[in-house]
Amino acid sequence: LNKDCSNSQMDENGLNGEDVEIIGERMSRKRKIDDREETDDVIIELRKKVLQLEKEKLELKSERDQFKKRVQSLEPGTSSKVFTQKIRVDNNADFTKYRSPPFRVNGIEITVGIKESTSYTDYINGSGNAPEVEVTPYVNMDAYGAVAKDIFAVITVTQRRRVNSRRVGKCRATVRTLMYRPAEFEGKVETFEPTDDLCNSHTNIHITLVVQGSGHPGGGSDWRIVVVKGKEFRVSAAYLSQWSQFFRAYFEADMEEKKKGIYPIKDPDISAADFEEMLLVIFPTQKAINEDNYEVLLKLANRFEMPDLFRRIETFMLDLKSHSLSPAWLFLLAINTYDLPAVQAMFLHRWRNDGRLMDELLTSEFYDALKPSTRNMINERFTEACLRRDQRHFRVSPPQSDDSENDSDSD
């Protein structure tokens, strides 16, 4: 080395250009090794967190499956039956106010209303608007039954030409309700546009009805009446107690309500419709949790101490493909209003990406509503995410020349 240096031009530190290049390569290799080790540590840590999240997800699924089995095994004598009926509509019927003959099953009556706004012939002749047929399902409970009943019905109306039986119109309507007392429930109106007059066609109605009881078949001491805003709900104490710690204590407490068998709920912010929605979700047929009812269910699950209902709501919130709710809003609910650890963990893991964190939370109107401690934690995570991104950027960027380094030093 000394011999080479004596034959080469030395710099002020006694090193020639080849020595500087060799040392630079060695330092560059060392930096790459250090970066690789740091990257490996980050990857290992990420894998640990991913494995932990997968484990929590499996535990959540297992708990959900176990709970379903437990509900079925503890369910106090529920039974589900499916009934079908086909009704052929008379061609001479008045379709301006038609109502089908009733289909009666165990105290439940289904009828179907069909209304033709404009005849197809008048429309073709230019004397009317586009034809439209409205289909309306009706459900009646004609007497108090031994149990409250969860009712699900699918009504299909089919129109076929008389000549060749070709289908010229079809409509499907669904109705779901919980019946406690004699009443008529009107389902959602569905419409279809026929391609011929109903009087010129064969019109058939096909009804599929599922009726499920929600308590002991014979009633007895298990029944309780819960009153919300003046409306009475007959519920199975054993079944509701499996879901709610509040109602378990309420039903067992030695109070005046226990003697009467009537249990009022006096919360001003809980309506009868809210309570009925909760019953529909937790009853054995399990109405789906959706964007319209999840907030009400969160409120009631919190009020009545229902951990299993919380679990079901969390499962809905975690499935971002099943709804269009803002991630920032869900995170705000999970960390400010309610303690939903699975939702918190999912979003914190999702927001390790600084771009996604910026788009979904930091620029959201809900960010300022977070608690100061939560915002500080989020800001730290954003800084860490930016540093990780910069580290990845510099690892793939070409090394700078000596001139640029000198320029930066002088700056």
* Together in a domain, 88 and 165: yes
* Together in a domain, 174 and 281: no
Contact 165, 200 (CB under 8 A): no
| Final residue belonging to a domain, choices 179, 213, 247 | 213
Core vs surface per residue 82-99: b (16+ CB within 10 A) or e: ebebebebeeeeebeebe
| Final residue belonging to a domain, choices 313, 329, 349 | 313
Query: Is the residue at 3 inside a domain?
Result: no
Task: Tell me the pairing of strands 231-236 and 103-105.
Answer: unpaired
pLDDT the model gives residue 7: 46
For the cut 60, the answer to whether the pLDDT of residue 361 exceeds it is yes
Tell me the pLDDT band of 299, cut-offs 50, 70 and 90. very high
Contact 156, 170 (CB under 8 A): yes
Q: Which domain holds residue 272?
A: 219-313
Which residue would you say has higher pLDDT here, 145 or 235? 235
Question: 272: closest CA among 282, 280, 283?
Answer: 280
For the cut 90, the answer to whether the pLDDT of residue 44 exceeds it is no
For the cut 70, the answer to whether the pLDDT of residue 112 exceeds it is yes
Mean per-residue pLDDT, 328-356 = 85
At 255-274, the pLDDT tens digits run 888 888 889 999 999 999 99
Mean per-residue pLDDT, 30-42 = 68
**Under DSSP, is residue 286 helix (H, G, I), strand (E, B) or coil?**
coil
Q: Taking the complete model, does pTM exceed 0.75, yes or no?
A: no
Query: Is the residue at 194 inside a domain?
Result: yes
Please provide the DSSP assignment of 11-44 as one string.
Answer: -TTS--HHHHHHHHHHHHHHHHHHHHHHHHHHHH
* Together in a domain, 206 and 87: yes
Which segment of 160-164, 233-237, 315-319 scores lowest on mean pLDDT?
A: 160-164
pLDDT the model gives residue 66: 54
Which segment of 5-9, 289-293, 343-347 scores lowest on mean pLDDT?
A: 5-9
At 50-80, the pLDDT tens digits run 777 777 666 666 655 554 444 443 343 344 5
For the cut 50, the answer to whether the pLDDT of residue 411 exceeds it is no
Query: Is the residue at 73 inside a domain?
Result: no
* Together in a domain, 208 and 90: yes
What is the tally of structural domains in the chain? 2
Question: 76: closest CA among 223, 252, 209, 250?
Answer: 223
For the cut 60, the answer to whether the pLDDT of residue 11 exceeds it is no
| Final residue belonging to a domain, choices 283, 313, 343 | 313
* Together in a domain, 199 and 224: no
Q: What CATH number has the domain bearing residue 273? A: 3.30.710.10
pLDDT the model gives residue 329: 92
pLDDT the model gives residue 19: 66
* Together in a domain, 123 and 238: no
Among 10-24, 32-46, 266-280, 367-381, top mean pLDDT goes to: 266-280
Tokens of 377: 């934690």
* Together in a domain, 86 and 166: yes
* Together in a domain, 156 and 133: yes
Helices 307-318 and 17-74: crossing angle, nearest 10°?
Answer: 130
pLDDT the model gives residue 71: 42
| Average pLDDT value for the chain | 76
Q: What CATH number has the domain bearing residue 116? A: 2.60.210
Query: Is the residue at 353 inside a domain?
Result: no
* Torsion angles phi and psi, residue 125, rounded to 5: -80, 0
Query: Is the residue at 336 inside a domain?
Result: no
End-to-end CA distance of the chain: 35
* Together in a domain, 246 and 136: no
Mean per-residue pLDDT, 118-135 = 70
Query: Is the residue at 35 inside a domain?
Result: no
At 216-264, the pLDDT tens digits run 333 445 778 899 999 988 888 888 888 899 998 998 888 888 888 889 9
Indicate the residue type of 202: H
Which segment of 14-28, 193-207, 218-232 scores lowest on mean pLDDT?
A: 14-28
* Together in a domain, 198 and 257: no
Query: Is the residue at 172 inside a domain?
Result: yes
Which residue would you say has higher pLDDT here, 136 or 401? 136
Which residue would you say has higher pLDDT here, 195 or 155? 155
* Together in a domain, 198 and 239: no
* Together in a domain, 96 and 203: yes
